[in-house]
Amino acid sequence: MLNQKRIEGLMNYMDEIGLSQMVIRNPLLVKYFVGINARGGDRATILYVSRKNGVKLILNELTNYPKELGLEQFFHGDQDNVAEQIAKHTIHDEPLGFDGEYPAKWLLPLREFNAASDYVLGDRALNLQRANKDEGELDLLRKASKMNDSVMAKVRTLFRDGVSEIEVARQISGLFKEAGADNGGWAIVAFGANAANVHHIPGDARLQPGDAILVDMGAPMGGYHSDMTRTFFWKSVTDRQRQVYELVKNANISAEKAIRPGMKCCEIDAVARDLITAGGFGPNFTHRLGHYIGVDLHDPGDIAWYNPDPAIVNMTFSVEPGIYLPGEFGVRIEDLVIVTENGCEIMNSDNKELEILGL
């Protein structure tokens, strides 16, 4: 069923950027607005949005959605030209916006049918709407993160001398399925020097005493994602490992405490980055502080030095500072947060104090 509140929000943001009409093909976004598992491919379902011209679903006659979706539906067959069918519904003398996943093979032919006066990327309006989470979305995100916490508690029991990264990653997938996730999720499991690789792919490396253990993992629940990172140490920890860990932990906690509505995303990033830089490891914090999250693991938007957008109430994103020392080890600590009227709600409650496992 059409989510009228989300559509109205999108149209408000379209007004802000001077866009009177938009077509959306990305199945994830069609589901976000209409609540159906939309088709992609050559029989894609197209959502047309315009305050002037209405909200319409343009779809292949072979699709099988509920008849009552709260908006007009217009059908075409395999023999029809999709661009021509879309052009029947557009305002031809005004610009037409597109989601960033819209295929060129359907965009370029629209010119042949004079579908619009110009063809522009409409992601700005879509991304602003997606960042403004409603209560239903927040509830699903909380449930997903609570599930992630429960799985991480069990992850601590999976380690033993000689176990491989890939063995642990596969067990984590099973734990997510047992916990009620939509699927087996994903997991970065990195031992020792591999933990210095930000997006390490779990392999055959085997756990040895003194290794750092970095676990970054998540899975969707009800279509909304979780994402959390914790770093442990196996049987012992060096002074250098402890120093780096405490610095990353303090950067994580300080950034979360600083979050306020209206604070620029680049300013939130700076809180953690400045602490790590002052601690002597600035060049070893090699990525943004965080990313937005929702129906995508990485919703559009970053908590980074290059993003001046302000945090808004009900925005959700990760806070994940890290320090990576090639050839030695890496440490990352990540939570998900919701911006509130007075600060932020941290969706993860898993322990962040330094832990030495295997003792």
pTM: 0.95
Where on the phi/psi map is residue 67: left (φ > 0), alpha (ψ -120 to 50), or beta?
alpha
Q: Which residue shows structure tokens 């993160």?
A: 145
Q: Which residue shows structure tokens 């947060």?
A: 337
- Amino acid sitting at position 340: T
pLDDT confidence tier of residue 78, bands split at 50, 70 and 90: very high
User: E strands along 123-240, which residues?
Assistant: 186-191, 212-218, 228-234
Cα 248 from chain centroid? 22
Percentage with pLDDT > 70 across the chain: 100
Closest CA to 182 of 60, 37, 314, 62: 37
Residue 284 and residue 243: Cα distance in Å, rounded?
14
Answer positive or negative: Cα dihedral of 303, 308, 309, 312. positive
Closest CA to 172 of 142, 213, 224: 213
Rg for the chain (alpha carbons), in Å?
23
Per-residue pLDDT tens digits for 238-260: 999 999 999 999 999 999 999 99
Mean pLDDT of 69-86: 95
The pLDDT score that the predictor gives to residue 40 is: 86
The pLDDT score that the predictor gives to residue 42 is: 85
Per-residue pLDDT tens digits for 102-147: 999 889 999 999 999 999 999 999 999 999 999 999 999 999 999 9
* The Cα angle at residue 31 between residues 345 and 6, in degrees rounded to 5: 60
pLDDT confidence tier of residue 325, bands split at 50, 70 and 90: very high
Closest CA to 165 of 137, 193, 139, 184: 193
The pLDDT score that the predictor gives to residue 122 is: 96
Percentage with pLDDT > 90 across the chain: 97
Phi, psi of 330 (to 5 degrees): -140, 155
Exposure on the CB side of residue 106, measured as CA atoms within 13 A: 24
pLDDT confidence tier of residue 39, bands split at 50, 70 and 90: confident
The pLDDT score that the predictor gives to residue 74 is: 96
Residue 90 and residue 242: Cα distance in Å, rounded?
60
Mean pLDDT of 228-235: 98
Domains and CATH numbers, the chain: 4-130 (3.40.350.10), 133-357 (3.90.230.10)
pLDDT confidence tier of residue 41, bands split at 50, 70 and 90: confident
Under 8 Å between Cβ of 136 and 115: no
Per-residue pLDDT tens digits for 260-299: 999 999 999 999 999 999 999 999 999 999 999 999 999 9
Mean pLDDT of 72-79: 95
